[in-house]
Amino acid sequence: MPDAPRHLPDDVEVLFLEGARGAKQTPHSACIAFRSSLEAALKKLDTEISGRVSLKDRIDRLAAKHLLPPAIQDWAHHIRDMGNDAAHADGLGTKEEVKALAQELEGFTRYVLLYLFTLPREIELARQRRAG
């Protein structure tokens, strides 16, 4: 049974787990779910960006505000691109290649979510324990 990184907002966790559960059986759908999980996560990260903003623009705006480091920005664009390709059936390759891509996106998305939510919360909890 797949697990999600700790301390995720509920909607982000649901979408991530949807992708993780489907990575082997429905890899196209899994790629889309990982993209959706990323988008939901980034919307939570910066509430100043509201309204209809493309995921591409949201990633770049957050990077410009130094809320995403360059490596996370690159991974986020990769997840976005592959999720878009899966949604539009843009020749991601054979079934085995799409499965491999879904597993790759699961890893990338997991690392992004760990960086955005798990690590900051774990640091906060450690500080509270030390202060308490």
Domains of the chain and CATH, by start: 10-131 (1.20.120)
Confidence (pLDDT) at 35: 96
Over range 111-126, report the average pLDDT: 96
- Summarize pLDDT for 77-115 with one digit per residue, the tens: 999 999 998 888 766 788 888 899 999 999 999 999 999
**59 near 72, Cβ under 8 Å?**
no
Dmax (CA) of the chain: 55
Structure tokens belonging to residue 8: 């995720």
- Summarize pLDDT for 6-43 with one digit per residue, the tens: 999 999 999 999 999 999 899 999 999 999 999 999 99
Confidence (pLDDT) at 47: 80
- Summarize pLDDT for 58-69 with one digit per residue, the tens: 999 999 999 999
Q: Label residues 18-28 b or e (16+ Cβ within 10 Å = b).
A: bbbebbeebbb
Long-range contact pairs involving 114-117 (C-beta distance under 8 Å, separation at least 24): 114/5, 115/72, 116/41, 116/45, 116/72, 117/5, 117/6, 117/7, 117/8, 117/9, 117/12, 117/41
Confidence (pLDDT) at 91: 67
76, 82, 87, 92: CA torsion to nearest 10 = -170
Spatial distance between the Cα atoms of 77 and 70, rounded to a whole number of angstroms:
11
What crossing angle do the helices spanning 70-87 and 55-64 adopt, rounded to 10°? 180
